[in-house]
Amino acid sequence: MSLVTRTRTRAVDTLTLDSPANRNALSAALVADLADALTDAGRDDAVRAVVLTHTGTTFSAGADLKDPPRPETLVALLRQIVELPKPVVARVTGHVRAGGLGLLASCDIAVAATTATFAFTEVRIGVAPAVISLPLLTRADPRALSRYYLTGERFDAAEATAAGLLTTHADDVDTALTPVLDGLRKSAPDALAETKRLLTARVLEAFDRDAEHLTALSARLFSSAQAREGMTAFLERRDPAWVV
């Protein structure tokens, strides 16, 4: 059974992360299913745009600590979203943590509910937001990233919008998305693809330049003693040894 469902309304494919039991964490299985669904949507001439959304109260909790994808596999997924010849729109009605923010930053447009919350929690389990920095560092405000990367603090949708992580936030996400999706439906497919290519050129430069280094960094940190302590503490619902 796929962890990503695909539906279509007026030339817009909606890909829904459907693993609420683990808060849509990025397991190896979910990443593979999402990559397959994106491939199908990208090849389908009847698809004008893709909406990426979720079931449950969390868009994505980040990497699944029990079944994490390989760093290079996550890099490939983020790049696939950026390179997809169709605009990808994130529809977020729940919370976003860690690697989930990499998905969000890879999308061309991102709209979240006012009640959504966000956090880069990597430092609190002994790792760093390495791979997800590939789309994030070129799209978000550096000062905001400095604070939230380093502290792991939770922040709200208004702050996420101000930081460039979201396009906008609204009490009713679907109302906010209506003019966006209508605009995409009115746009010529080839023009959309070329315009997206213009907009993502700098992001892809970061992938070309930094992916190998950040993949190695991620692998090294996840295998470290501090990460083992941090992940064990997280799963045991206790503070890691370094908390003072």
Residues with a catalytic annotation lie at 122
Torsion of CA 237, 241, 242, 244, to 10 degrees: 80
| Residues 107, 90 contacting (CB under 8 angstroms) | yes
Instruction: Tokens for 33, please give them.
Output: 């299913």
Alpha helices in 113-188 (DSSP H): 133-139, 142-151, 157-162, 173-185
| Residues 51, 79 contacting (CB under 8 angstroms) | no
Compute the distance between CA of residue 100 and CA of residue 192 in angstroms, rounded to an integer.
25
Q: Which residue has the tokens 């609420």?
A: 20
